[in-house]
Amino acid sequence: MLKDAFDPGPSLAEALARFALEKLAYFKVPGWVAFIDTLPTTYSQKLRKGAIFGDADPRQYPTAVDVRAIKQSRGQAKAPNSRLPPSD
């Protein structure tokens, strides 16, 4: 759940992806970020992951943001289709 100070959108999704790239292994970083209002839980307050999107494709959710480009560039700011090697 987001606090009121945060606006769910592409800029927050990109910041989350960059933070995840710093802290997690590459394969654990999500390629898509979707902001939803509530999370479905069981009676024991465990998350019901299958009920979040059901059978629908989460990428079709209105607030889903594609962050695969950030993940593939390993968090470096690069111009799209840049052929220059990343600077170290």
Torsion angle (degrees, nearest 10) of CA 51, 57, 63, 67: 120
On the question of pLDDT at 80 being above 60, the answer is: no
Task: Report the residue count for the chain.
Answer: 88
Over residues 12-38, the pLDDT tens digits come to 888 888 999 999 998 898 888 888 888
On the question of pLDDT at 4 being above 80, the answer is: no
CA gap 67, 23 in Å, rounded: 16
pTM as predicted: 0.65
| 50 neighbors 40 (Cβ within 8 angstroms) | no
pLDDT at 86: 56
